[in-house]
Each structure stands twice: as structure tokens, then as C-alpha cells.
Structure 1
Amino acid sequence: MMNRIPAAWVAACLAAVLAVPAAAEEIADRQARAAKAVEVLKSGAGLKEKQDACRELARVGGKAEVPVLAGLLGDEKLSHMARHALEPIPDPAVDEALREAAGKVKGRPLVGVLDSIGIRKDAQAVGLLAKLLGDADAEVAVSAAISLGRIGTLEAAAALEKALGTAPPAVLPAVCDGGLRAAESLVAQGKSKEAIALYDRLRAAGMPKAIRTGAMRGAVLARGPAGHALLVEALGGNDPDILDAGMRLIYEIPGKEATQAIAGAVKGLSPERQVAILLALGNRGDSAALPAVLGLVKSGPGPVRDAAVRILPQLADASAVPMLFELCDDAGTAKLARASLAALPGADIDAAIVAQMKPDGKYRLLAMELAGERRAAAALPAVLKAVDDAQDPIRLAAVRALEFLAGPEQRPVLARILGRAKDPAERLPALRGLVRLSGSANLPVEKQLAFCQEAMGLARGADEKKVVLAGAAGVAHPEALALAEGCLGDAALKGDAEQAMFRIAMALSGSRAETARTVIEKLAASATDDNVKKQAQRALRQLEQAEEFVTVWQVSGPYHQPGKSNQDLFGTVLAPEKPGDTSAKWRTLPAGTDSSRPMILDLLRACGGEQQVAYVRTWVRSEKEQPAKLLFGTDDGVKVWLNDKEVFANPAGGAATPDKYKTDITLKSGWNALLLKVTQDTGPWEFCLRITTPDEKRLRGLQFSATPPAK
């Protein structure tokens, strides 16, 4: 049997064979270009031509071109460009040429040569550079110091440390800067002991402030855990430069042990410094500081205790909650402690607050108030028990919490409270809670309407009915219009009713265009609220331009993932496009606000950001199964699904031009679910869409709903 050679092996061999002439051709081309540049440098060409030749050699030059370039290092006009060409050539001949030139050239060319030696980190030049640290020309000495720092060997560091005691004022800052660079390099080489010695010398009194603070940072970090004591010493000392470095290190030094060391050092300091360090610990955000901070909460002087309480939300876990409740008894800390309890993040904090809601708990009332402020769902069972409590403060706090915690399942509880309560302090939060349920974008619009109708039936007086009208304004249903219109006869409610009618009509303008137009025309002609009248007049002009476009949508998003572009996300399957996945959160997408383009829906305004995607959805009701066409434009890419079936996809960017894309569809009889995924690169983020007959004429008789139709 004949052996078969693997195809991949054959392909690899073929690629290698083909690569040989290609590589040889590239080398020949580089050599030819280099030779041409050398000819220019040797000729009587002008300065500009020779500078361009040096630039070319920076790209294609090699060892063969080093002698020609080295010959220019003493040229006042061409030295800089010659060094520019030499520095990238990866050959020791360059270093030899630079060292040789450093012994011959003078003035500015010498300064440049020394810079190039440092850039190439030529360790063989340390002796030469060390001698030049004492050069009479300060620029030469400065360049030598900086280059020694860049080289960063033990020998370079030793030369710089020696020069610290002899350098003149004009050169000392550069020697110090070189020392910092060298010490950092030594740390990277694993030579921490030598680096620490140099850092300690540089942070000594008498050195420039910027050097001392930088050296202090290096001295602490190079020591590792042993540097914690040095940091604590700096924070407690009286040297302002070192203290400044220590304060900066609080944000930088890693590890819980460092946090504990810093926090443990706070107590013995002056109140002013304690406050400053506490605030820095708060920004550090490490809970390892919590025990020390809690100790200061208990026993620190006034300003220190206030600062400790203030940073607790940045540090605390549930263990701090009982103490914070106790601090609410103290007039001096009550405000800060309560604010901390309201701000502390996490379900464990919610649970700790709920634990304070026991019937005989000392802080039951405060815990009840906080549960509502925090929207703590874990508190709902305790809140539901407390809405019937005999103690007025407890009952009122529970009802106020229920306003924010109630879901559709708690509707009967809210209705019962409204049926029995007489005090506005109890009735209004219960009513607002019931109305809030009508604003859930995930509820069918019929249920939203039912909540508003029930709330209006339970409302008493103008103040309560205004609450219901505000909620009804967000319900896109003809009967919500009727509910608002029924309040026009009450002078105290007329303005609110007109505002609600306008908002409902605008929400219906895409799904019930004729009904919406009739209401808006009426408001434009005779609304008593001048603002509503002007809004209605503007809306009529916009509706005339946008009447063929779908303008009722819900939006979900934005969706973004670390490291992924909008193009990556275009192909990523996310919750809204997964059939049966109900985890996506939807909200009403505002109508277009650009009077010159009222059909354009603005996702940037609704979602903001870049490199992400959003989804929009609506439902289309057709009286029969019929062919149709989608015409739409998006900025940027788009995918379209009709009844969970993908019907269009294009990742390309561009403007949201009406009718930019077209695709044929079939509408089934009844409600059809329409979903778009729109990507965002940068800049505008928009879309528009209309549905026509297959020959792109107006398709009449369709209805639209932004919320899921009742099944």
C-alpha cells in the first residue's frame, strides 16, 4: 500500500519553499534602498536630501551602513538624523560607534550621542558615562545622568549614587531622576536590596521634593510587606514631602495587610490627619479596614467619627449594620449613619436591615423606612404584615415601603388599604403604589389599564386623581383616553387631564392614528393649558410627516460585553432574541423629538454609549394573512425578526435613512411580533421603519401595540 503524505505537511513545505525567494527578494530590496541612501549621504546633496536619506536608513539600514552614519555624528546639522537612523539598527556595531563618538565629539552632538547610548541601554558605556557626570558642560552631565538611569545596571546605579554628593545644582535633579530610573530597573531585575538602598538615599532630607516623593513610593513598594511599617511611619511623621508620598501610596499599595496596617495607624494621629487617611481608605474600598474604622465610629472624636461613618458604605458588610442603627440614636451621627444604611450595597445588607424589623425590635420603624428607600425586596413579607399594624408610625412606614416594593400580586393589598384608610399620609403612598404597577412595561396594556381604572375608582379628591392621571398618561390604550377625558369637567383636574390625554394620544399615534389625531387636534384647538396646546400643535405637524412610520416601540438595553465591539455583539445571541426568554427588561421608547425627522427613533438618547447593541420591539395586528414589505433604515447594523423568525440581517454601519433597507414579509392574521437588534459603533444611534404593500404603497388597516397584546 502506498503511504499518503498529510496534506497539511505538504502545504507547510510548499509555503516554506515559496517564502525563501520572497524573503531573499525583500532583503535585496532593503539593501538596494540602503545603498541608494548611502550614495546620497556621500554626495554633495543638500541638507533636506541627506535628512531624508537618514530617515530611509532608519527603516532599511543595517550593520553595513553604520560607518557612514557614524561619520555624521559630529556634524552639527546631521548628527540628530544620523542618530535617528542608528538607534533602531540591532547590531553591536552601533554601540561601538556611539561609544567611540562620545570620546570625540563635543557640545550638542555629544549630548545627543549620550542620549542615544541611554536609549539603547548600552551597559558597556557605564564607565564612560560615569566620567561625564562631572563634565563642565551641564547639558553633557545631565544627558549622562539620564542615560545611566535608563541603563539601570548595578554599576550605573552606583555611579549615580556616588554623584548625589558631588553634582552641582544644575545637574543634581537629573542625577536624582536617573537614580529613580535605575532603582526601578533594579527592582525589575530582582535586585530589591540594592534598589532599596538607592531609594533610601534619594528620599533623604535635602533632595528635591518630586524626587523624595518618588523615592518614598519606591522604597515602600520595593520592600513588599516590610514596607508597611515605613508607610505607617510616613503617615505619622511631620515631613510634608514624605507625608504627601504616603497619602498617595494609600491608593496604590496592594494587599489587605497594607490596608490593615494603614487603618491600624490612624487612631494615634491628629484628628485632621485621621480624617484625611479615613477618606483615602474609603476610596481604597478594602473591607479589611472595617474593624479599625468601626472602632473610630464608636470612640473617635466628632470629626473623625463623622468621617468613619461617611466611608462605611465604601467598606462595610452586613456586620456593620447593627452599629449603624445604634448610631442613628446619636444626634451627632444620626444623619450620616442613616445615609450609610440607605447607601450600603448588597443583598446581605438588605437581610441585615430586615432582621431589625422584628415586631419587638427597637429599630423596627427605621428599618421599615429604609426597606422602602432601598427597594429591598427581601423586606416585602415583613412589610405586608406591618401594613395592618396597630401603631400608626409602623403602619404608615410599611405602606410607604409597599409603594415601592409591591408587585402585581400585592394589588389587592393596596386596594384594601385604600378602601379602609382615611389619612392622606396613608392613602397617597398606597395609591401611588397601585398606579406604579400600571407603568410596568412587561405587563399587557390591558392590565396596565385595569390598574389605572381601579385606582381612579378608589381615588378621592383632586390630589389623588392627579396621581392616577399621571399614571394613566403612560398607558397606550383608547380607554385610558376615556378615563382622562372623564376628568375634563373638573376644573381642578382639567390641566392634568389634558396633559394625560396628550401623552396617551401621542403613544397611540402609531397604533391608533385616527383616534390619536382627533384628540390631538382637539387639544391643539381648545386646550386650556397653554403648554399642552403648543405641544399638540407641534405634534400635529410631526404626525403629518411621520404618519406612515411605526412610532410605538419598546426598547431593551443597552447590551455590552467587555472586550467586544458592536460587530462582535451583532453575532452574539442575547436574551431578547431567545424565544421564550423573559429575562430582558423592556421600557417604552420615546417618540422622535426631531421635528425635521419625526419618524426617526433615537436610541442614543434612550440608551447612550458606544460599542453595544439595543433591541426594539412592537406588535402589528393584521386583519388577515397578507404579503407586505418592511422598509427601514438604521444606524448602525440591524437584524430583524418577525414572529421569532429572522427575516433580515446586515452588520454595516451608516445613517438611518428611511427606506434604506427593504425585505418582503408575510403578516399572519392577528398579532405579529416584530423585533429589531440595532448595533451602535459611535455617533448617532437611530432607526425608522414602515410597513407597506409589496409594491411599496400604504398598507391600511394595521394596528400597532408597543406592549405585549393580551393572549
Structure 2
Amino acid sequence: MAGGSLFSIIHLTWFIPMLNIHKQLRLSACVALGMAVLLAASSAYAEKSEAELLAKLNSDAPAAEKAVTCKYLAIYGTTESVPTLGKLLVDPELASWARIALEAIPGPEANKALRDATGLVEGRLLVGTINSIGVRRDAESTETLAALLKNSDDNVAAAAAVALGRIAGSDAAQALTPMIAAKSETVRSAVAEGCILCAEQCLANQNTAEAIKLYDLVRQAEVPKPRMLEATRGAILARGQLGVPLLVTQLRSDDRDLFRLGLTTARQLSGRGVDQALVAELANTTPERAALLVQVLTDRPKQAVLPAIMAAAEQSAKPVRLAAISALGQIGDSSCLDLLFEFATSDDAEESQLAKKSLATIPGSDVDTYLLSVVNSGEGKAYPVAIALVGERRIDATGLLKPALESAKPSIRQAALVALGEVVQAENLSLLVDKVLGDKHSEDLPVAIQALKTASVRMPDREACAAELSAAVEKASSIELKSKLLEIVAAVSGTKALATVGDAAVSDEKALQDVGTRLLGKWSTADAAPVLLKVATSDNVAGNYQVRALRGYIRIARQLPMDIAKRSEMCRQAWQAATRTNEQQMVLEVLERYPSQANLELANEAQDIPELKEQATKVSNEISNKLKSS
């Protein structure tokens, strides 16, 4: 690889993470990424010793080669490399590459080289050097950086502020705090960031008082809003339970950003006092904000105040009610079931839907027992709701649901059908089969069919299920009903299901030929291939359904996994069964996709058909080329 090309790759790989020079917090990851790229790009460098690498830097080699060398010194360099790398810190072209190595080399020598360079460079080179000092967290550079806070170049002063924040410590904080009132907004923002970084380190060192002092300084200063918000959050969390009043202040603020900060911070601050404050605010704020506070309480499940949520559900303001009803689904227990059923049976569709959803998700066997007792009562507005919930919660209650199938009310019958679709076991599948075959309520038939399908596809023994459904197909009184049942049979799949659908496809009824070939054409396993070929070549099947079956057969040859010999055999059989050019062209496409000697022979034979000669010749050539190169 040419030096220039390698330089471009390395430059791109290492420059992207440096685009924001104030966010180089993952040096190790960058070094690892650079190492991987370098090793892949040029193994020759890996064999060089540190001395050879330094000789390259001291030579008149192109800058691109020296840049690569710096990357290797970031991996293999020691204190022996520091003097040479230090000289490059004043080189506009190589300074950034030298800094990468110096950032990685352990020892005070690298710190000193960077510190000394601050007196030799200016502008962007100085900013970069300061950033590297910050990356290394060189405490001995604190005094140097403190002086640079007053540099006439705002970018230099800002870099120094952030670097001091990374170094942290009392000296760094002492240098930063007076500069929070700097005239330049750029500098004030960076100083605020530095103070926040210092505060975080104070917290890590258990110096909470100093952390609070720094956070308060920033949040009360004239700094960009993001810094103020960050400091406010830190001030609340650093105070712990003593930060609750400050949290409440944010929750009462007219500033939407501060209010949202309060919501976020409330989720992070533990303690009973937070819950009590949130509950108190429910009555002192707007309905829209109260609804959001309910969500915050819900997101604190280990400390949530369930009675307060239940009380909120009974408030007159609808946004609060809706939020509370939804919250009960996450933190509720058996104590809130009566309340939720009251909402579930209300005339308000939105409240009813949310309450039903909550009832479906509240955990606990006592909830199941409650629902079964409502179903057992067999009366009231709660009856159909409880039936539906039995299905949603998958409670095995077939015996209790059976009487509901004979109800005079369609809503109850249909709710029971849906629930049985979710809970019925194999031994009781006939309940749904009978409802499909002979129910006197025609309006229930679509629901019964869907319930039977839902139940059938989850049966553990699909062959037994398919056998029961196949018998139902024979008993069905209409072609339309037979077709619906065949769709369920196909959804169950398996050997028996395939045979039943195959028989329908070759029956005397064209409507069954239609549904049978349609279902076979979508079969997901290769064992449908012989059945499709039989249908495609049956004299009893209408021509258009023969074509559909043959196309389904070709689809299996094209898409489903099988060995090459079997695929070639299928292509040969499809070719022999095809009576139209369209299907023959589809076979040729399969031949080209899966090159083999047998497929080449068939493609050569296809050249004898004038309409296919051009495509067949192309396919033959493609197969030949692929076979030669394999």
C-alpha cells in the first residue's frame, strides 16, 4: 500500500473521534481501533523496533509515513520516544499525531513534554496540546492551565477550563470558580463544564459539600442553558433527600426544560421524601402536569405510593385519570381491581380500554382468582369483561366459559369464543369445532373460525389437531366453510395437513382447487413439492390451477434448502411438466442460480426451443463459467 493511501486511511480513522476536541473521553478505544487498522494496513511496521520507529521520525521521510509511525509509538512507545515526539508538538502537520502517542505513553515524561509545549505553540496547536493534558489528567499542569484561562484566545481559555475539569481537585476548582463570570460566553460555558466535572469528581471522593458548592455556582451563573440544567440536576442529586425542595422548585417552574429536568431527576432520586413530594404536587399543578407526575411515580415501582395513584384515578381531570389507570397496570395489585373494573365497564371508551389493558397486565394469582369469581357469577356488565380478560391472561377456565357459549347475548358468546381460542386445551378443541360446524348463531361464525384458528396453531400435537380439523372439513356443509377450515388446516401444517390440502386441490370442486392450490403455493416446507407436482399434472385440475401449482413447485426449487441433486431433479420434473414458456423461463432462472452439471445439461437441451434459445444460451454460459471457477 502506498504511503499516501495508508496515511489517508489512518488519518480518517483517527480524526473522526477527534472532531469534537472536548469529548476525547475514550482514548483506549481509539488506540485499539487505530491499532487494528494499522496492523491490517501494513504488517511491515509491526516488525520494527522502537529505535527503528524513532529513526523514521528523525529522518526526512514523508509526513504520511511519520504519521503512521506515531500511531505505532502510541502502541509500542516508551519514555525513550518522548523527546522525539515532543519536538513534533510544534509541527503543524504532525503535532496531532505526536499527541496521540504522548497521550498513550505512561510516565511523567510525557506529561512534561506536553506541559513544556504550551509555552511554544499557540492557536489550534495550543488547544490540541491542552486537550492532551486534559486526557492525561496531569495534576502538575494545573498552574499552567490556570494561567491559560485568561488567554486572549477564547478557544485556548475554553480548552484550559475543560482540561482543568478533567484533572479536578481543589486547585483546579479554585482556578475555575472566578472565571465563571468571564466576559466571553464561550469561556463561561467551558468553565461551567469544568466546574461540573470537578463536582462529579468531588462526589466520587465523598466530598459532597464541595460538589454542591460547585453545582450551585454554575446553576446560578449566567451560563448557557444546557450547563445550567446539568448543574441543577447535579445539585439535586448531590443533596439527596435534602434536594427535594430544589426538585419541587423545578417541578413548579414555568420553564418547560426545568420542569422536564425535574421529572427526569425525580426518577433518579431515591427516598420516601421524593414520593411524598410528588404526591403533594398532584393536587397543586395542572392536569397535564399531574398526568406526567403520575408516570414518574409509576416509574418508581419499588417506592410508588399505590393509594395516591388510585386517588389520582378518581380525580375529575381526565388526563390524570387516564395516566393513573394506565399506571395501575404496572404497579397495581388486587386492592385496585374493583376500581379498575368500574372503569372497564364505563361508557368512556378511552377509560374502558385502558382499564382493560391494566387488568390484563397486573401480576398475581389473586387477580386470576378475582376474575374467575366474576366469570362464575355470570351476570352484570363486568361479566363479558372478565371473560375477555380470562383469555388475555391465559387462565385455564374452559369449564367456566362453556355456559357463556349459550348466552342470549352475542357480546357474551363472542367474548367466550375469543377467550376459548386462547385457553382451550386439545381435549376440548371440539367445543370450537362444533361451534364452527353447527352453531345456530350465524353472526358468531367469523369469531368462532378465528378462535378455532388461534387455538389450533398452539396445539402441542399438530398431527392430532390436523386430523380433527380434516374430519371437520369433511363434515362442513358448504364449500365456503370447507375453504375456511382448510386455511386453518394449512396454518397448523404437518403431514396430515398437507395431505388434506392436497386432496382439496385435486377435488372435483373448482372452489376447493382454488383454495387448495393457493395454500399449497405458500407452503413453507419442501415436502409440499410432490403434492404440488401431482396437482400440476392432474387432468382433474383446471388449467389455471395447474399453472399455480407448478409455479409453487418451482418456488420450492428456487427458495427452500435441499441438496443440489434433489434441486436438479425438481428442475427436470418441472421442465417436463411445463407447457408454457413462462414456467420454462422460471425453471431456467433456477438453473442459473444453482449451477451444476445436471442443470447445465438441462439448459443445453432448452436451447433447442426457439423461444428460449437466447435465454437458455445465456444460462448455459453462466453455469459453465461458475463451474469452471469453482
Structure-2 residue corresponding to 1:325: 341
Distance 2:329 2:400 in 1: 24
**Contact kept in structure 2, 1:202 and 1:211, CA below 8 Å:** yes
**Contact kept in structure 2, 1:546 and 1:598, CA below 8 Å:** no
Structure-2 residue corresponding to 1:316: 332
Which has a greater percent of strand? 1
How do 1:51-200 and structure 2 match up within 5 A? 51=67, 54-103=70-119, 105-200=121-216
Matched AA of 1:424: S
Structure-2 residue corresponding to 1:208: 224
Structure-1 residue corresponding to 2:242: 226
Do structure 1's residue 374 and structure 2's residue 392 form an aligned pair?
A: yes
Structure-2 residue corresponding to 1:541: 554
Matched AA of 1:480: T
Matched AA of 2:311: G
- Give the CA deviation at 1:377: 2.5
Matched AA of 2:111: D
Distance 2:252 2:540 in 1: 72
Do structure 1's residue 451 and structure 2's residue 469 form an aligned pair?
A: yes
Map Cα deviations across residues 225-278 of structure 1 (whole Å, 9 max, x no partner).
433443232112223442232233355556787566545533321122223444
Structure-1 residue corresponding to 2:427: 409
Structure-2 residue corresponding to 1:602: none
**Contact kept in structure 2, 1:350 and 1:379, CA below 8 Å:** no
Sequence identity (%): 27
Distance 1:471 1:546 in 2: 24
- Give the CA deviation at 1:374: 0.8
Distance 1:524 1:466 in 2: 19
| Cα gap change, 1:313 to 1:523, in 2 (>3 Å) | farther
Calculate the TM-score normalised by the size of structure 2: 0.70
Structure-2 residue corresponding to 1:480: 500
**Of residues 336, 359, 364 in structure 1, which corresponds to 2:377?**
359
- Give the CA deviation at 1:180: 1.7
How do 1:610-625 and structure 2 match up within 5 A? none
| Cα gap change, 1:67 to 1:431, in 2 (>3 Å) | closer
Matched AA of 1:443: D
Do structure 1's residue 467 and structure 2's residue 484 form an aligned pair?
A: yes
- Give the CA deviation at 1:470: 2.5
Distance 2:503 2:62 in 1: 89
How do 1:427-442 and structure 2 match up within 5 A? 429-430=447-448, 433=451, 439=457, 442=460
Greater relative CO (CA pairs within 8 A, separation 6+): 1
Do structure 1's residue 344 and structure 2's residue 361 form an aligned pair?
A: yes
| Cα gap change, 1:545 to 1:299, in 2 (>3 Å) | closer
Structure-2 residue corresponding to 1:582: none
How do 1:222-301 and structure 2 match up within 5 A? 222-250=238-266, 252-253=268-269, 258=274, 261-262=277-278, 264-279=280-295, 288=304, 290-301=306-317
Distance 1:435 1:404 in 2: 10
Structure 2: tracts of 5 or more residues without a match: 1-44, 565-585, 598-630
Matched AA of 1:337: L
**Contact kept in structure 2, 1:449 and 1:479, CA below 8 Å:** no
**Contact kept in structure 2, 1:502 and 1:520, CA below 8 Å:** no
**Contact kept in structure 2, 1:524 and 1:537, CA below 8 Å:** no
Distance 1:103 1:361 in 2: 89
Distance 1:344 1:115 in 2: 52
**Contact kept in structure 1, 2:535 and 2:546, CA below 8 Å:** no
Give the CA RMSD over aligned residues: 4.4
Structure-2 residue corresponding to 1:635: none
Which piece of structure 1 moves more, 386-395 or 191-200? 386-395
Structure-2 residue corresponding to 1:581: none
- Give the CA deviation at 1:210: 0.9
Matched AA of 1:408: A
Distance 1:598 1:43 in 2: 61
Which piece of structure 1 moves more, 222-231 or 388-397? 388-397
Distance 1:502 1:31 in 2: 65
Which piece of structure 1 moves more, 224-233 or 388-397? 388-397
| Cα gap change, 1:206 to 1:517, in 2 (>3 Å) | same
Matched AA of 1:307: A
SS of residue matched to 1:171: helix
Calculate the TM-score normalised by the size of structure 1: 0.63
Distance 1:220 1:309 in 2: 30
Number of aligned pairs?
Answer: 526
How do 1:17-36 and structure 2 match up within 5 A? 33-36=49-52
| Cα gap change, 1:387 to 1:441, in 2 (>3 Å) | closer
**Contact kept in structure 1, 2:215 and 2:232, CA below 8 Å:** yes
**Contact kept in structure 2, 1:220 and 1:227, CA below 8 Å:** yes
Distance 1:296 1:240 in 2: 23
**Contact kept in structure 1, 2:70 and 2:98, CA below 8 Å:** yes
| Cα gap change, 1:69 to 1:546, in 2 (>3 Å) | closer
SS of residue matched to 2:186: coil
Distance 2:595 2:280 in 1: 63
| Cα gap change, 1:312 to 1:597, in 2 (>3 Å) | farther
- Give the CA deviation at 1:142: 1.4
**Contact kept in structure 2, 1:271 and 1:303, CA below 8 Å:** yes
Map Cα deviations across residues 664-706 of structure 1 (whole Å, 9 max, x no partner).
xxxxxxxxxxxxxxxxxxxxxxxxxxxxxxxxxxxxxxxxxxx
**Contact kept in structure 2, 1:259 and 1:288, CA below 8 Å:** yes
Distance 2:69 2:501 in 1: 80
Matched AA of 1:146: V
Structure 1: tracts of 5 or more residues without a match: 1-28, 552-593, 600-654, 660-711
**Contact kept in structure 1, 2:88 and 2:98, CA below 8 Å:** yes
- Give the CA deviation at 1:157: 1.7
Map Cα deviations across residues 58-108 of structure 1 (whole Å, 9 max, x no partner).
344333443444444445455444433333222223333433443454444
Structure-1 residue corresponding to 2:534: 518
SS of residue matched to 1:288: coil
Map Cα deviations across residues 296-315 of structure 1 (whole Å, 9 max, x no partner).
11114022222333444344
Which has a greater percent of helix? 2
Which piece of structure 1 moves more, 86-95 or 139-148? 86-95
- Give the CA deviation at 1:423: 1.7
Structure-2 residue corresponding to 1:590: none
